[in-house]
Amino acid sequence: MVFPLLLMAIFVVPVLLIISGCEQEVAVLYGSRQPLYQGDASINGLGVLAEMFSRAGHRVSSTTRLTPRVARSADVIVWFIQDFTPPSKAAGDWLEEWLDMDSERTLIVVTRDFDAEPLYWTKVAPQANAQQAPLVASKGALAGLRFAGERTPTAPQPEDWRWFTLDRSAALKQRGVTTISGDANWTAGVDATKLEIELYGRIQPKQTEDEVLLQTPGDVLVFRHRREPAVIDWGDWGRFSSRAIRLSDGQIIVVANGSFLVNMALVNHEHRKLAAALVNEVGQEKRVIFLEADGNPEVLDEDPPPLRVPTSTMYFDVPRIQNLLWHLAVLTMIVCFGLFAIHGRPRRTPQPAPSDFGRHVEALGDLLSQTRNATYAQAKLSQYRTSGKGDATRRSVVR
């Protein structure tokens, strides 16, 4: 399975290590897997991770909002928060209620505290020639400044992200990860010295009973929070189901950032091992839905109407096109009436005489022309002339 995924990662990020022209725009959209938005090809996209879920036997799709239809169909929701804002209360309440409806549901939350573009230009720089080097350096510097500006916290203290706290204070320095520990399912076979995980902010579980799955000395990388069983009163029918009693041990898996999960990061062989460990945490043959939204996704109490599939007849509902078609129809009728209708009293046209030998010659010529074979036509004419001379000779001898 590893070799096909390696080929896919290289295919999705074909210009990662070989630059063919710095002026070509690099797709940097974060937290999407949809080809329509270049999420499958973006260096910050999720196309490779989604394919890993698919190859593991899961059914994968995407949504941009939380609806009852999503609640009914999703077994796993993967949320790469696309901005630097914590989950809203409405989204958090919806997700927790969704988790409580089934004991085998999983919510994966990945904070936004990473951007692959600065690292991309750093890796590209050694491949640039003398003319490209200044442009590569400029693009790398601008990408770093943009990311630093976007992630600047509004308050110096750790932020409350509902299930954990995220510290993005200026006192924390960026650090790389070269040592890991934690659950054996995560660390087995991983060469930590080859990891390229970047830590900016630091996550911290709120509950002491939360299970740390992956960590580096002093910092948590991945942890699991299990929902406690919830008993609902008979009078509370819930938002999604009519079941009155709901027992849940659904899980929330929190990842510090996407530095080992986005498309560009999964070119690294060791990162793919960690991503495979994340995929294994959700079980087998689940319906996985990627929530592609910021920290405040739209929450709907009713399912929106289904999108109308474009058809060849839908354009006839447009008033301007209807008016144009009516004019074309009337014009067509006028043209047909002028060309094909009989105007006035019908009369007989004179018919050619059946004894006209010229008509026979024209008919023979038409038949020969339909063969589209000049050699064949010449042969037939020669045969006719020869046979005609023979008949004339025989008649003179008889006389």
- Cα(379)–Cα(391) distance, rounded to whole angstroms? 18
Contact present, 302 and 45 (Cβ < 8 Å) = no
Q: How far apart are CA 176 and CA 164, in angstroms?
A: 22
Task: Give the torsion sign (CA, 5, 261, 65, 294).
Answer: negative
Helix (H) or strand (E) holding 52: helix 47-55
pLDDT at 291: 96
Q: Count the residues in the chain.
A: 399
- One-letter amino acid identity for 250? G
221: which 2 tokens?
């990388």
* CA gyration radius, the chain: 38
In whole angstroms, what is the distance from residue 252 CA to residue 255 CA? 10
Residues 136 and 121: their CA atoms lie apart, in Å, by 6
| Listed residue (176, 212, 181) closest to 194, CA to CA | 176
Distance between CA atoms of 339 and 310, rounded to whole angstroms? 38
pLDDT value of residue 141: 92
pLDDT at 287: 96
User: In whole angstroms, what is the distance from residue 146 CA to residue 133 CA?
Assistant: 20
Question: CA 147, CA 53: separation in Å to the nearest integer?
Answer: 29
* Per-position pLDDT tens, the chain of length 399: 444 544 444 444 444 444 344 445 788 899 999 876 666 789 999 999 999 999 999 999 999 999 999 999 999 999 999 999 999 999 999 999 999 888 889 999 999 999 999 999 999 889 888 888 899 899 999 998 998 888 877 667 788 999 999 998 877 888 999 999 999 999 999 999 999 999 998 999 998 899 999 999 999 999 999 987 655 554 444 555 544 455 557 899 999 999 999 999 999 999 999 999 999 999 999 999 999 999 999 999 898 887 665 666 666 677 778 888 888 988 998 888 888 777 777 777 777 777 777 787 788 888 888 888 888 888 888 887 787 655 555 555 445
Phi, psi of 110 (to 5 degrees): -120, 120
Cα distance between residue 171 and residue 149, in whole Å: 16
Closest to 278 measured CA to CA, from 165, 191, 182: 182
Return the closest-CA partner of residue 53 out of 268, 280, 256, 262: 280
The amino acid sitting at 265 is A
